Every structure is written in structure tokens, then in C-alpha cells.
Structure 1
Amino acid sequence: MPNSSEQKPTVSSTKNALSFRQRYQFWLMLLTAFIILQLPFISIPFKWLESYFHEISHGLTALLTGGDIVQIQLFPNGAGLCTTRGGSAFFISLMGYGGAILWGCLFFSLASVHRKAAQAFSVLLVALLAGSILFWVRDLLTLFIVLVLLSLVLAQLKYSSQKYLQTLLKMTGLLVLANSLMSPLYLLDGQARGDGAALANITYIPEIIWVLLWFIAGLFATYRLSKVSFASRS
């Protein structure tokens, strides 16, 4: 006769154990993203990607506030420049780092919803990169960098199954988000250049406050994504 003291795992305990592993998976992916961004050469295209989303966020904000995009430039070290005409200087400056955070969240969230959503978002990203080349890229270096990014997205679509496409997009979103968390901290170099200095000139609020706001926004976005990841697998 079986020992009455032995108990089979309940459905609840099994579900709790599974939920713990799923939540841990998000933080493991995030840690992997930070490690990748420290690796020579391997990190370069991902830094270009974050830089692209930073600059295109400036540009799209200019368009949404009544201005125009004159030119988008990207550089090998991960820096970039979006030249705009007109629009709201405040929101254009604010949405560089802010926009990169939103793009990272969008990558991860849509990839978490459904495989078809991940595929549709990849197609949209291809269209955005191609449109940037057509309308806003004016120099060969930026053209090369954007073509590299476009090739990476196309390779994901062509050679990955829809299942793996979701995982790749989630990882890409976390790479963009991780880089957008670290990037504002580079503004604290005492040179009073960049988006933080521009906002300080517009609002008279010190640059360090804007850097802290971007950093806190990135941390909050990371926390919310961990909840999205957990909920989508529960």
C-alpha cells in the first residue's frame, strides 16, 4: 500500500514552478543583452540599431510636430545625428532617448503577442529602413550602416521560423532597451552637448535631471516588460 505521506505535485505547485522559470527567463535574456553590448565587434550592429531608433525617433517627432527631416546620419562608433527643420524643439530633443526606449518595448511586446504580430512588425521595420534610405540618407557611410541593419532584419525574416523570429525580436528589443538605458549616462561628461544640454537650454532644467528621467523611464519600461513576459506565458 502506498505511503500516505507521499503527495503528488499539485497543478498549482507545478504552475508556480513553471511561472518562476518563465520570469527568470526574461531577466536571463536581459543579462545576455547587456553582455552582448560589451563584446567587441559583436555589439556593433546592435549599437547601430539603437542609434538608428534614437535618430529616427527625433525625425518622426519632427514630422508629428509639423517639421521635416533633412538628413539622418549614423557613425561607426554608434553615434548619430538627425537634422530636422521646424517642429517642436522640446519634443524632438526629448524623444531621442525616449523613443529608443519605446522602440525596445514595442519590439518585445509585439513579439510576445503572437507569431504573426512579430512577422508583421518585421515587415514594417523593413519598410521603415528602406524608407529612410530613400528619403533621409545622404552619405555613403550611413547608407552602409542602414543596409547592414536592413540585411539583418531580412535575414531574420527569411531564415528564421516564426517561432524563432519571436525570440529574436524579443532579444533585439532588449538589446535596444539595454543600450538606451546606458546611452544617456554618456551625456554626463561635462561637455554640455547632446539632447540633455538642448533640453536644459530650452527649459532651464539641469541636464542631469533629464538624464535621470530617461534612465528611470528605461528602468520602468524594463520592469513593465518583465510583467508582460510573465503574463504572456502564464
Structure 2
Amino acid sequence: MNWRYLGYFALALLIIHIPFVGPFFRIANTLIHESSHAIVALLMRGQVLRIELFANTEGVTYTASATYAAALLTSAAGYVGSSIAALGLAVLCAKGRHAVSLWLFVILGAVNLILWVRNPFGMVWLAVFIVVLLYALRRKGKWTSALSIGLFAFVLAESVSSSFAILWLSLNTPAGAGDAANLARETPLPAGFWGIIFMLQACILGFMSARIVLRKRANNR
């Protein structure tokens, strides 16, 4: 067991609950979630109209899909994309490629700032987030590794916890269950079904992500 990484995780989970600071970093997962909708829409020959990011860590992506199948895949992409991103960040952390992780966030943030995000809060948050990333990259060393591991922990925690939140909403207030509600309107399957699917994939990929980091880093000491 890699106790150093467990310490980073514990610190990251503590920071998540600090007012103002916690939500600032939790929006990193929202950025990934909404960007996943946008990327899949583009891959399916659709359009990304705009993305909005909010201070309460919520977000929304407006897209235009070319086909019915494209609309379904775009709606499903948010939660799955966050879980896959957590897995990818785990691999980079396990290999010590912390600068690569931060540069990927810089690129994703810049693309959103230039092309998609248009609400004032979202634009300001992206600009500040990019500056924080670039500062850590400039300082190198522990600054880069700490922020990289912290962002991994934030994304992992948020991808799993948000999947349970959408499951709860899909079972209790299905009309307000976001992506699960969108999929329920487009398919014969209820929002609760999609909530369960989102939760299961998040837990499976989340477990794999944590296992990759803790086991590989421990073996490489």
C-alpha cells in the first residue's frame, strides 16, 4: 500500500469540503463531464452550441445531434467520460507523468475557453484554472505532482459521488435527473435504469483507477 498517495487522497478529499476552494477544484470534473458531451457530439458529426459552467459545480452542454443514435451517445457521454478520464489520470499518475496530466487539463481548459464556454462565471473560472495549472507547471517538482494527484483524486471522487447523486435523482425525481432523464425521454427505458448504469460504470472504473495508482506506485518505490 502506498501511504504517500493515500495521504494525498485524504488531503484532496479534505480540500473538496473547504468553502470556495473545494468547489473551485470540483468544477474540474464538471469540465470533463461537459467536454465529454461536446467531444462525442463532434465525433458523431453534430455541433456544440455552447457550454456553461456554474459556481455550484453544475454545468450544461448544448449540442445539436445529426442522428438519433448520436443524441443517445452524446447524452450518455458525460458520466462515462468522467470515469474514463479518472482511469486515464490514474495511469499517468502511476507512471509519474504528472506534467502530462496538467498539460492535458490546460489544453482542455483552453479549448473550452476559446470555443465553447460563454457564460461569465465559466470563462473566469477557466482563465483562473489555467493560470493555476501553468503556475504549478512552472514551479515543477512537488507543485506539479501534488496538483496532478489532487486533480486525479478530485475527478475520481466526483465521478463516483455524482453517479450516486444521479441514481438518487433518477429514482426519486426522474424528471430532474439530468442525463438520465434525457435518455429516458429518448428511449423506452426509465431514468432509474440509466441511473443504475451510470453508478455501476463509475464504481467499476473508479475501483480500477484507485487500484492502478495504489498498486503500481507501491510496486515502483
Aligned match of 1:151: 131
* Alpha-carbon distance in structure 2 between the residues aligned to 1:84 and 1:42: 30
Shift of residue 108, structure 1, vs aligned partner: 2.4
CA gap of 1:211–1:36, structure 2 versus 1, over 3 A, is farther
Q: Equivalences for 1:198-217 in 2 at 5 Å?
A: 198-217=182-201
Shift of residue 191, structure 1, vs aligned partner: 5.2
Q: Aligned to 2:63, what secondary structure does the other structure show? A: strand
Q: Aligned to 1:43, what secondary structure does the other structure show? A: helix
Shift of residue 77, structure 1, vs aligned partner: 0.8
Are 1:105 and 2:61 matched, yes or no? no
Aligned residue among 50, 58, 70 for 1:71: 50
* Alpha-carbon distance in structure 2 between the residues aligned to 1:34 and 1:119: 21
Give the aligned residue type for 2:203: L
Are 1:233 and 2:218 matched, yes or no? yes
User: Is the Cα–Cα contact under 8 Å of residues 47 and 65 in structure 2 kept in the other structure?
Assistant: yes
Q: Equivalences for 1:1-234 in 2 at 5 Å?
A: 20=1, 22=2, 24-87=3-66, 88-114=70-96, 117-161=97-141, 164-187=143-166, 188=169, 189-190=172-173, 192-193=175-176, 194-229=178-213, 230-234=215-219
Shift of residue 143, structure 1, vs aligned partner: 0.8
* Alpha-carbon distance in structure 2 between the residues aligned to 1:43 and 1:67: 34
- TM-score, structure 1 as length reference: 0.80
Give the aligned residue type for 1:74: L
* Alpha-carbon distance in structure 2 between the residues aligned to 1:124 and 1:78: 20
Give the aligned residue type for 1:216: L
Shift of residue 92, structure 1, vs aligned partner: 0.8
Deviations 1:38-92 (A, max 9, x none): 2322211122111111111100010111111111111111111111112411111
User: Is the Cα–Cα contact under 8 Å of residues 36 and 78 in structure 2 kept in the other structure?
Assistant: yes
* Alpha-carbon distance in structure 1 between the residues aligned to 2:9 and 2:188: 35
User: Is the Cα–Cα contact under 8 Å of residues 55 and 81 in structure 1 kept in the other structure?
Assistant: yes
* Alpha-carbon distance in structure 1 between the residues aligned to 2:5 and 2:199: 19
Aligned match of 1:3: none
Q: Quick check: 221-230 or 194-203, which moved more?
A: 221-230
User: Is the Cα–Cα contact under 8 Å of residues 46 and 65 in structure 2 kept in the other structure?
Assistant: yes
Shift of residue 37, structure 1, vs aligned partner: 2.4
* Alpha-carbon distance in structure 2 between the residues aligned to 1:223 and 1:82: 28
User: Is the Cα–Cα contact under 8 Å of residues 52 and 119 in structure 2 kept in the other structure?
Assistant: yes
Gaps of 5+ in 2: none
Q: Aligned to 2:19, what secondary structure does the other structure show? A: coil
User: Is the Cα–Cα contact under 8 Å of residues 108 and 174 in structure 1 kept in the other structure?
Assistant: no
* Alpha-carbon distance in structure 1 between the residues aligned to 2:23 and 2:13: 13
* Alpha-carbon distance in structure 2 between the residues aligned to 1:129 and 1:175: 16
- TM-score, structure 2 as length reference: 0.85
**Higher relative helix content:** 2
The alignment yields a C-alpha RMSD, in angstroms, of: 2.1
Gaps of 5+ in 1: 1-19
